[in-house]
Amino acid sequence: MKTNSIGLAVDESVVMVEELNVLLANFQIYYQNLRGLHWNIKGKRFFDLHVKFEELYNDSQLKIDSIAERILTLEGVPLHTFEDYIKKSVIVVGKNISNDEKAIQLIVDSLSQLLNLERKILGDASNINDEGTNSMMSDFIAEQEKTTWMMKAWLS
């Protein structure tokens, strides 16, 4: 079995890179949705939501960078074009959303999609002893589950 410079099987790392690139694409769409929500939100909850959306997109930007760097660590190439992001993403593009409830629902739906992808990556990373990816997914999942709970509580 041929291994890469961090001791993981090359063939298995190639598959992990593909999965991480799908996650990267979805995070990029999620990030851009959050920017749009931040810019376009209206109504009596504007001030609170405007700040919350900025917090979420700043966090997403850090996660995007972490995913891309993990892909590079696995000796892959991170996707970096909007064309690729659109092709690989399952997250709905939110366009011109200014209503608070629609905005929060888009976030909940997007996080659900991200969590599904992350859980698959978590399982696959465990199977190949890729602790770096495994740890990153565990951290993402725990944080996003809490955000989902909070957003759903807000919608109630």
End-to-end CA distance of the chain: 53
Please state, in angstroms and rounded to a whole number, the distance separating the CA atoms of residues 84 and 104: 26
pLDDT in tens, 10-69: 999 999 999 999 999 999 999 999 999 999 999 999 999 999 999 999 999 999 999 999
What is d(CA 3, CA 16) in angstroms, rounded to the nearest whole number?
14
Q: Cα 148 from chain centroid?
A: 13
Return the domain boundaries, the chain.
Answer: 10-155
Give the C-alpha separation, 153 to 97, whole Å: 20
Q: Which residue shows structure tokens 């700040």?
A: 51
Fold of 10-155: Ferritin (1.20.1260)
Q: pLDDT of 63-80, one tens digit each? A: 999 999 999 999 999 999
Q: Whole-model pTM?
A: 0.97
